[in-house]
Amino acid sequence: MADSLPKLAVLISGNGSNLQSIIDQITSDQLAAQIACVISNNTNAYGLERARKHKIPAYAIEHTQFESKAEFEKEILAVLNNYQPDLLILAGFMRILSPDFVAEFPNRILNIHPSLLPKYKGLNTHQRVLEAGDQEHGATVHVVTSELDSGKIIIQDRCKVNADDDIESLQQKVHRIEHVIYPQAIREYTQQLTR
Ligand code: GRF
């Protein structure tokens, strides 16, 4: 890998705004990496279109089409095998990967989570922040391990929660943070990998 750009495979489920921020940083030479492929578990994910617009191979692998998680993951592995990525980037990928899958890429999977981990692992983070009356919120990029949202934290950034914030406004604030810290975390992490 030392001689070439680190190869990323990005896994998504939806809009793909984080994918877009990574693409934008690559195309503007701010992130020295290449996206080998994008995989979505949802055929209708807008992120697939974003990838195709940039001529990145994009695959829909619907989890609902498989009898088990193992079969679904086998198919993802088969696609990844064609590209041999250095790093897997989970960018709004809404399936929990099995320990067996994670073990195929030790310390080679990153995730972005919309909370200040270790607070609010799992879903509905904005709602939980509001319910708890927290005064700050944020996003975290971390290494994926077999335990949900628990691997080593690479970067975290925070924002204030105001009295008039609601789920939507928090989502927007957190997205703005994510679009900055995810490319930054990938930059730092891939530099480490090449050392
Ligand atoms: C992000 O908020 C991410 O933290 C969460 O899902 C959202 C994905 O957004 N896991 P997008 O698809 O990148 O726009």
In the chain, % helix, strand, coil (3-state, to 5) comes to 40, 20, 40
Q: What is the mean pLDDT of the chain?
A: 96
Residue 5 near residue 191, CB atoms below 8 Å? no
**Cα(2) to centroid(ligand 1), Å:** 30
Q: Rounded mean pLDDT of 44-62?
A: 98
Asked if pLDDT for residue 2 goes beyond 50, the answer is no
Q: What is the pLDDT of residues 66-100, one digit of tens each?
A: 999 999 999 999 999 999 999 999 999 999 999 99
Q: What is the C-alpha to C-alpha distance for residues 90 and 11, in angstroms, rounded to an integer?
A: 5
Q: Once rounded to an integer, what is the mean pLDDT over residues 15-26?
A: 98
d(CA 163, CA 52): 41
Is the Cβ–Cβ distance between 100 and 73 less than 8 Å? Answer: yes
Domains of the chain, start order: 2-194 (3.40.50.170)
Read off the pLDDT band of 4 (50, 70, 90): confident
Q: Whose CA is nearest to atom 8 of ligand 1?
A: 92
Provide the pLDDT for residue 173. 98
Lining ligand 1 with CB less than 6 A are 12, 14-18, 47, 91-92, 112-114, 174-175, 178
pLDDT, mean of residues 55-61 = 98
- Going across the sheet that includes 153-160, the strands are 58-60, 34-40, 7-12, 87-90, 109-113, 136-143, 153-160
pLDDT of 84 reads 97
pLDDT recorded at residue 193: 80
pLDDT of residue 27: 97
How many other CB atoms are there within 10 angstroms of residue 176's CB atom?
Answer: 14
pTM of the model: 0.96
Core vs surface per residue 140-156: b (16+ CB within 10 A) or e = bbbbbbeeebebeebbb
- Compute the distance between CA of residue 34 and CA of residue 9 in angstroms, rounded to an integer: 9
Q: Are 37 and 59 in contact (CB under 8 A)?
A: yes
User: What's the rounded Cα separation, in Å, for the pair 105 and 86?
Assistant: 9
The number of residues in the chain equals 195
CB of 98 closer than 8 Å to CB of 13: no
Atom of ligand 1 nearest to the CA of 17: 14
pLDDT tens digit sequence for 116-162: 999 999 999 999 999 999 999 999 999 999 999 999 999 999 999 99
Q: How far apart are CA 63 and CA 20, in angstroms?
A: 23
Q: Considering only CA atoms, which residue is closest to atom 5 of ligand 1?
A: 92
130-to-20, 102, 122, 164, 169 alpha-carbon distances in Å: 28, 32, 15, 10, 11
Catalytic machinery residues: 113
Q: Tell me what pLDDT residue 80 has.
A: 98
